[in-house]
Amino acid sequence: MQKLKLLVISCIVFLTGCNLRVLDPKSETARDQSFLIQFSFALMMIVFAIVIILFIWFISKYKQNEQNKDYIPPDDKGSPWLEITWTVLPFILLAILAVPTVSITFEQSAQIEATPTDAVQIEVTGRQFSWTFSYENGVEAVNDLRLPVDRPVEFTLRSEDVIHSFWIPKLGGKKDLIPGKTRRMIVTPEETGTYQGKCAEFCGREHAQMRFTTTVMEQGEYQQWLEEMKEKIE
Ligand SMILES: [Cu+2]
């Protein structure tokens, strides 16, 4: 018991150092996704609470005591009303869950989403075990992603070797990089700051090192950074 307590406390301490927060959205994409997580969690908790309340109520109501210890309940052969209730209720709950899930999934599907005209284009290449980001003016940076705030960014994702997964939790969900395929992802960061990103698909021995930092900058600062980087390579 003592060991278990220690384990739980140390886990909590270690996890507070974790900067990969899914429920702290800094873009519309991430906000919609965290809404889905919270919405389905709330729905689950309602079902859980009802089941637990009924459970406690039944075990206290039908508990054996002095008065009922010889009572044998009649053998019921089914109840159409009960069966209809527990068939229809889950159906309604799933329908409620399906509406926002399907609509957000389609809305965020890159196949359907048109590229906004003012989108910044960034090419992302994943390889064992690093990320290369290529910007429109030819600048390349390794494990260092810079984005302008309040402008849509279209990522073109490619892998050089195995399957990787591009993930910046605060900006949006994961997108797998499949060797031989080009994939797209559109995100509009809404707040400046530094966000951690990582590979979210186990891809080999140093997978855990496959991290990158995402710096969302003011638009002017971003342009300045791009120009400074360009000068460096020339
Ligand atoms: Cu990887």
Ligand 1 centre distance from Cα of residue 206 (Å):
8
Tell me how far the alpha carbon of residue 197 lies from the centroid of ligand 1, in angstroms.
11
Q: Write out the two tokens for 211.
A: 């991290």
Of the chain, the percentage scoring pLDDT greater than 90 comes to: 61
Helical H segments across 153-198, by residue range? none
Predicted local confidence at residue 173, as pLDDT: 78
Percent residues over pLDDT 70 in the chain: 97
> What was the pLDDT predicted at 111?
57
Largest Cα span, the chain: 94
Please report, for the chain, how many H helices and E strands are present, in that order.
4, 10
- Distance (angstroms) between ligand 1 centre and the Cα of 163 equals 7
Nearest of 210, 196, 197, 121 to residue 162 by alpha carbon:
210
pLDDT value of position 115: 78
**Tokens 């999934």, residue?**
105
- 156-181: pLDDT as tens digits: 999 999 999 999 999 987 899 999 99
Gap from CA of 141 to ligand 1 centroid (Å): 17
pLDDT in tens, 5-28: 888 888 887 777 666 777 888 888
pLDDT of residue 113: 67
Name the residue with higher pLDDT: 91 or 2: 91
Task: Round the average pLDDT of the chain to a whole number and report it.
Answer: 89
Q: What is the pLDDT of residue 70?
A: 86
Reading the block at residue 122, the tokens are: 């960034």
Burial class (CB in 10 A: 0-12, 13-18, 19+), 79: exposed
Instruction: State in Å: Cα 231 to ligand 1 middle.
Output: 31
| pLDDT one-digit tens code per residue, 64-122 | 888 888 888 888 888 899 999 999 999 999 999 999 999 998 888 765 667 778 889 99
Q: Which two tokens mark 123?
A: 């090419």
| 53 — pLDDT class (breaks 50, 70, 90) | very high
Higher pLDDT, 76 or 58: 58
